[in-house]
Amino acid sequence: MAYIYFPQYKKGREGLQLHKGLTILEHLRELGIEINAECGGKGECGRCIVRIEKGEENLNDLRHSEISFSLPDKERLACQARVIRDTEDIVIFIKEFGDYQILKTGTERKVSLNPLTFKKGEKVIHDSEPLDEYRGRIYGLAVDVGTTTLVFDIVNLETGEILATIAKTNPQILYGNDVISRIEYTMVDKKTHTYLKEKEREQKLKELQDCVINSINNSLKEFESEREDLITPYVYEAVIVGNPTMRNIFFGLDVSSLGLKPYEPIHKEPIVKEAEELGLTAFPKAKIYGAGLIGGHAGADALAGALASEIYKSDKVSMIIDIGTNGEIILGNSQKLMSASCAAGGAYEGATIPCGVGAIRGAIKNISVQDGKVLYQTIGNTYPVGICGSGLIDLLAELLRCGIISKNAKLEEDFHVEGDVKLTQSDVYQLITAKAGLRVDQLILLKYYGIELENLEKLYLSGGFGNYIDAKNAIKIGLLIDAGEKIAKIGNGALEGAREMLVSKESRRTSEKIAKKIEHIKPNELEKDFAYLVAENMYF
């Protein structure tokens, strides 16, 4: 009996019995170990690189897709390296190994404490329903399930105090770096390219659901161990936000409609389930609330950001943008709200760019070019492993300023930053394509709302990507409309909005009213010249 080992991870050190016919990626999924598999295991992104320390003879020969990436000796793509013999142990090291730098905090606005779960006499009450005998504590969770990251607050619902904010990489990255990859995982057999039967689809959906819920459970267990105190038996409520795919997977709801025209979620309304039904480690009857969705790929995370920014209150019109793997935009005021969504951040979060990485240790986070020299800073101040989104924006802006890239986005030759880290013409094309879609959505929202840019009150940037970028450089390359000094960063608006819904029933009711009020538009359907507009905005 032979085993496969992943010594970098605690849960991989004991080994897993080898399964003939499965890839290394599938073994990693069984153990729940994270690896960047942005293309979902198709052999296209080249991210899931592993080094075979021992047992190479148990694997299939190099596939054509691996040869195209010119991998060094002993390196393979985890999704293409398949076990063909189980006679000897295999020892694997993961090349892109490191935690993401995750934005944990929002503005933490003062909200009047009035949660739906509270102490009344000697009982714990949710709304008007008795849940439990009061045992000295009442806790809740505010959870932001992002495509790339998973962040949640543990909140004392009697005082409003945040006990801790826990941030992790979303382990679903094993199944692809974007929502489409994860939707496809629940719908299509990767080997036969045929649609799965209903029971198989349900199993795949459950696999993705368990993946993220187990991550929260394990994080809570780690926190209890560090604190040497039980938390989970006193968790009586949670508020979950995320884009439509992430929110619905969390609750085990079908997401197939989000991968097919007209790309709308089947379940948009707020949802409540009990912890034991979901497998969440908490008081069994704890109420788990999923905030409402807006439409298309604009979800509960964008709704939470709108709540946190208070754009729904003002007479003046403002815009809030959450730039991530998906870009979600809301524009409006107390009278009228409109939204749009698009695939925005894939290229800027490491996908499709050979030198691109997520916000992990060693990622170049900012760059300047001075007197022909490249100056940069990396996350963790270590040798660079690649460039994350904020660094890519800086690099484009600096190359444009120095005339190394033309206004038509032409790069005469590869630009070397450090070692193997370089920017190519192909990379530039991916980046300008990604930024053009987001910019056009901003412009079309302004057009259909009927407001000129100069009359915009504020442009709020929400989320980790928006928080860490240099806004001036983002304007310079055309990722953002030129709102100048009107730009304000509000941190993790999704998490902040989720916390407000948790500690205030008034905020929760407000969020439900906002969700019904927002008109979601699809610029590519409204504008007959949409493709032309995107092409026009690809240049600088």
DSSP structural state of residue 479: S
User: Which of 94, 128, 143 marks a domain boundary?
Assistant: 94
Q: What is the pLDDT of residue 105?
A: 56
> Are 83 and 19 in contact, with CB atoms under 8 Å apart?
yes
337-343/16-17 β-pairing = unpaired
Q: Do residue 262 and residue 401 come from a single domain? A: no
Torsion sign, CA atoms 268, 218, 2, 76: positive
Going by C-alpha positions, the residue among 345, 317, 343 that lies closest to residue 330 is: 317
Q: Do residue 248 and residue 365 come from a single domain? A: no
403 part of a folded domain: yes
pLDDT digits (tens, 9 = 90+) for 430-443: 899 888 989 999 99
Euclidean distance between CA atoms 296 and 462, whole angstroms: 19
Beta bridge partners of 329: 321, 340
110 part of a folded domain: no
- Residue 493 to residues 109, 135, 149, 246, 459: CA-CA distances in angstroms? 11, 32, 14, 17, 13
Which residues form the domain of 90?
3-94
79 part of a folded domain: yes
Q: Do residue 127 and residue 53 come from a single domain? A: no
User: Which of 406, 423, 440 marks a domain boundary?
Assistant: 423
Q: Do residue 168 and residue 281 come from a single domain? A: yes
- 293: amino acid identity, one letter: L
Q: Do residue 128 and residue 258 come from a single domain? A: yes
328 part of a folded domain: no
User: What φ, ψ does residue 308 adopt, rounded to 5°?
Assistant: -65, -35
Q: What is the pLDDT of residue 194?
A: 92
For the chain, give me the number of helices (H) and strands (E)? 15, 27
Specify the CATH number for the domain of residue 48.
3.10.20.30
Mean pLDDT by 10 residues, the chain (540 residues): 81 86 92 79 84 90 87 87 91 68 59 95 95 97 92 96 90 83 90 90 96 94 92 98 97 94 92 98 98 95 95 96 86 97 69 76 89 89 86 94 94 91 92 90 96 96 84 94 93 94 97 96 91 91
Q: What is the pLDDT of residue 96?
A: 60
In the three-class reduction of DSSP (H, G, I as helix; E, B as strand; rest coil), residue 17 is classed as: strand
Number of domain units in the chain:
3
Q: Do residue 18 and residue 125 come from a single domain? A: no
Q: Do residue 228 and residue 283 come from a single domain? A: yes
Q: Do residue 47 and residue 158 come from a single domain? A: no
Euclidean distance between CA atoms 389 and 391, whole angstroms: 5
Q: Do residue 229 and residue 87 come from a single domain? A: no
In this structure, which long-range contacts are made by residues 120-126, counting pairs with CB atoms below 8 Å and at least 24 apart in sequence?
124/236, 126/236, 126/237, 126/287
Q: Do residue 131 and residue 164 come from a single domain? A: yes
455 part of a folded domain: no
Q: Do residue 76 and residue 125 come from a single domain? A: no
Specify the CATH number for the domain of residue 274.
3.30.420.480
Q: What is the pLDDT of residue 407?
A: 93
Q: What is the pLDDT of residue 401?
A: 95
483 part of a folded domain: no
381 part of a folded domain: yes
Any idea which residue has 């992104």 for tokens?
45
Q: Do residue 68 and residue 133 come from a single domain? A: no
- 316: amino acid identity, one letter: K
Going by C-alpha positions, the residue among 306, 305, 315, 248 that lies closest to residue 278 is: 248
What count of Cα atoms within 13 Å lies in the side-chain half-sphere of residue 403? 2
- 346: amino acid identity, one letter: G
496 part of a folded domain: no
